[in-house]
């Protein structure tokens, strides 16, 4: 049996083409490894003129660092000296004098002058002129290498958090509100994604939308093997366009009680496009919404059509997304660091799924899966119950389990999925604005579901990979779980049924990922490609 896309109340404006303009970013400067005595040469290597070059396609922009909240320059440096053992009992004034003299000798090329002490005994120095932040960071790094220095860092200039100027950002409560939001602005202070980071969206495909930048949509693939399901007149091809999944009552067969599936006619869901908008809708274009990783790339992989999709097609999509070979399909030139799967069915995790997932994870790909919308134990639903994936429950605006969300010990973390239905005086009422606003064909809509929760985590994972390309699926999963916000006392359903370790905290997760950048990570082995067929071919549906 195939079941259609989960679709909820539509409320949106038709979109218009964005006047996209990328932020100019200061180019990155690289320096050779210099000894402390060579620091005086640093100023001649990096002049203020060369540090202020701007380029729309600069390396700095590709790394996706947002500089609106950390000024791109500073004229100060902070240095904390260690107290030498041989002058441990020397009067403080003498220590200060010795340290100041040492610092000035290091910084003489910058005409540095001591300004004051901080509350923890570090010294603030004026550099004599305002320099590009990359120059000051590199200088601080070289000074920190000296054994007499505890640390050195730029005296950064911070500003208030700048919110995206997208017209409907205020309706995206799921990003910034407490207790139900994911603390996304804190992550955006560090990164908005990177063109070197790709999220594969294994779903219904994608429609062209003015709020999703075509320059960040990589060449995907349509893996639907059945022409009727594909609804595009053919089977597999290199066009992942979502041609719609509208179905009439009973068109997908009958349930176990003999009732028609679906019970009534259903319009096309544009499910994959809604998921894509949550992950990567364009930011700061003065219209519509903004995606979580709006500077990262997306890779559309179509596996779901009319009445759903087949396990065999989905498994091929997983392998292809990770850069593995799939029979009769071209090689994917853009392997994804992250896969989002907002789909599933009530089955054990069969070998077809597990083999594909294990192979993709071995390639270094993190796999995010929706836990399901049946208000049931998530361990009964695949592929959320497969080993190695990150299983996501849905929470509402109050930070508690959405009424429909699956739950249990197999869930890793939770994310906003919305809840558009409330009960008042014994009657169900719709409040669409409590759903998740994102892109669909022709405009925008509020949806609810674990389908909407999963891309929050996929988008966050993209931000994490943007600041730390060395992350592994295992490390990514652990960071997400460790940094999640613990459920409040009012989250009674999550406390009772289990929604993972908490609601994802984007700011904390990105900061943790960035802090691990210099630590060793295990390079995953390259697996043997398994393109064998399996007798396990049940049907799945998007959540």
pLDDT in tens, 399-445: 999 999 999 999 999 999 999 876 667 777 778 899 999 999 999 99
Given the DSSP bridges, would you call strands 198-203 and 338-341 parallel, antiparallel or unpaired?
parallel
- CATH 3.40.50.200 in the chain: give the residue spans: 169-243+272-542
Q: Residues 540, 477, 373, 443: what is their CA dihedral angle, to the nearest 10 degrees?
A: -90
Q: What is the pLDDT of residue 350?
A: 93
The CA R_g of the chain, rounded to the nearest whole Å, is: 26
Which residue from 240, 225, 51 is spatially nearest to 131, judged by alpha carbons?
Answer: 51
Burial 271-295, CB ≥16 within 10 A → b, else e: bbbbbbbbbbbbbbbebbbbbbbbb
Q: What is the pLDDT of residue 4?
A: 33
Pair 497, 394: CB distance under 8 Å: no
Query: What distance in Å separates the CA atoms of residue 193 and residue 243, rounded to the nearest whole number?
Result: 29
| Residues acting as catalytic residues | 203, 271, 451
Q: Write out the two tokens for 380.
A: 């009964």
Alpha helices in 390-491 (DSSP H): 450-467, 473-483
Q: What is the pLDDT of residue 250?
A: 95
Q: What is the pLDDT of residue 431?
A: 84
Q: What spatial distance separates the first Cα and last Cα of the chain, rounded to whole Å? A: 15
193 backbone φψ class: left, alpha, beta (φ>0; ψ -120 to 50)? left
Q: What is the pLDDT of residue 24?
A: 29
Residue 239: helix, strand or coil by DSSP?
coil
Q: What is the pLDDT of residue 105?
A: 64
In tens digits, the chain (543 residues) has pLDDT values of: 333 333 343 333 333 333 322 232 222 333 222 222 222 222 222 222 222 222 222 223 223 333 334 567 888 889 988 875 444 444 555 555 555 455 556 677 777 888 888 877 888 888 888 888 888 888 888 888 877 888 888 887 765 545 789 999 999 999 999 999 999 999 999 999 999 999 999 999 999 999 999 999 999 999 999 999 999 988 899 999 999 999 999 999 988 899 999 999 999 999 999 999 999 999 999 999 999 999 999 999 999 999 999 999 999 999 999 999 999 999 999 999 999 999 999 999 999 999 999 999 999 999 999 999 999 999 999 999 999 999 999 999 999 999 999 999 999 999 999 998 766 677 777 788 999 999 999 999 999 999 999 999 999 999 999 999 999 999 999 999 999 999 999 999 999 999 999 999 999 999 999 999 856 544 444 443 333 322 223 334 455
Query: What distance in Å separates the CA atoms of residue 297 and residue 337, rounded to the nearest whole number?
Result: 10
Q: What is the pLDDT of residue 438?
A: 98
Pair 139, 77: CB distance under 8 Å: yes
Q: Write out the two tokens for 297.
A: 């790339």
Q: Could you tell me the CATH superfamily of domain 169-243+272-542?
A: Peptidase S8/S53 domain (3.40.50.200)
Query: What distance in Å separates the CA atoms of residue 211 and residue 445, rounded to the nearest whole number?
Result: 13
Residue 445: helix, strand or coil by DSSP?
strand
């Amino acid at each position: 049996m195939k079941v259609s896309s989960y679709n909820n109340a539509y409320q949106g404006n038709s979109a218009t083409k964005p006047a996209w303009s990328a932020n100019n970013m200061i180019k990155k400067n690289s320096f050779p490894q210099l000894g402390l005595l060579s620091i005086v040469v640093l100023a001649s290597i990096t002049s203020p003129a060369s540090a202020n070059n701007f380029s729309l396609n600069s390396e700095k922009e590709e790394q996706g660092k947002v500089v609106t909240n950390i000024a791109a320059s500073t004229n100060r440096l902070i240095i904390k000296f260690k107290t030498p053992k041989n002058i441990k009992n020397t009067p403080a004034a003498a220590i200060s004098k010795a340290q100041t003299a040492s610092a000035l000798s290091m910084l003489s090329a910058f005409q540095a002058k001591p300004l004051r002490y901080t509350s923890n005994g570090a010294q603030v120095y004026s550099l004599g002129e305002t320099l590009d932040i990359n120059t000051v960071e590199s200088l601080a790094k070289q000074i920190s290498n000296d054994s007499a220095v505890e640390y050195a860092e730029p005296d950064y200039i911070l500003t208030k958090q700048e919110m995206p100027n997208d017209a409907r950002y205020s309706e995206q409560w799921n990003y910034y509100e407490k207790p139900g939001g994911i603390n996304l602005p804190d992550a955006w202070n560090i990164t908005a994604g990177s063109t070197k980071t790709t999220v594969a969206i294994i779903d219904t495909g994608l429609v062209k939308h003015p709020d999703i930048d075509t320059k960040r949509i990589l060449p995907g693939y349509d893996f639907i093997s059945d022409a009727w399901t594909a609804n595009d007149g053919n089977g597999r091809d290199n066009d992942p366009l979502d041609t719609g999944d509208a179905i009439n009552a009973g068109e997908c067969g009958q349930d176990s009680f003999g009732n028609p599936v679906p019970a009534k006619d259903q319009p096309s869901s544009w499910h994959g496009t809604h998921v894509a908008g949550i992950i990567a809708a364009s930011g700061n274009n003065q219209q519509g919404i903004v995606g979580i990783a709006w500077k990262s790339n997306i890779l559309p992989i179509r596996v779901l059509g009319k009445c759903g999709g087949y396990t065999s097609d989905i498994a091929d999509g997983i392998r292809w997304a990770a850069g593995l070979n799939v029979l009769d399909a071209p090689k994917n030139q853009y392997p994804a660091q992250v896969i989002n799967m907002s789909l599933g069915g009530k089955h054990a995790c069969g070998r077809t799924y597990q083999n594909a997932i294990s192979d993709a994870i071995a390639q270094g790909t993190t796999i995010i899966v929706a836990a399901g919308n049946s208000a049931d134990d998530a361990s009964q639903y695949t592929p959320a119950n497969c080993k190695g994936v990150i299983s996501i429950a849905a929470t509402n605006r109050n930070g508690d389990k959405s009424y429909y969300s699956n739950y249990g010990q197999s869930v890793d973390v939770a994310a906003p999925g919305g809840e558009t239905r409330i009960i008042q005086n014994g009657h169900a009422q719709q409040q669409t604005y409590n759903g998740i606003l994102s892109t669909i064909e022709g405009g925008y809509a509020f949806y609810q579901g674990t389908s909407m929760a999963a891309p929050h985590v996929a988008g966050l994972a993209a931000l994490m990979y943007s600041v730390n390309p060395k992350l592994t699926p295992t490390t990514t999963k652990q960071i997400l779980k460790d940094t999640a916000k613990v459920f409040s006392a009012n989250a009674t359903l999550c406390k009772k049924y289990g929604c993972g370790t908490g609601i994802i905290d984007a700011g904390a997760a990105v900061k943790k990922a960035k802090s691990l950048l210099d630590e060793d990570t295990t390079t995953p082995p390259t697996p043997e490609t398994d393109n064998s067929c399996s007798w396990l071919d049940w049907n799945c549906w998007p959540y």
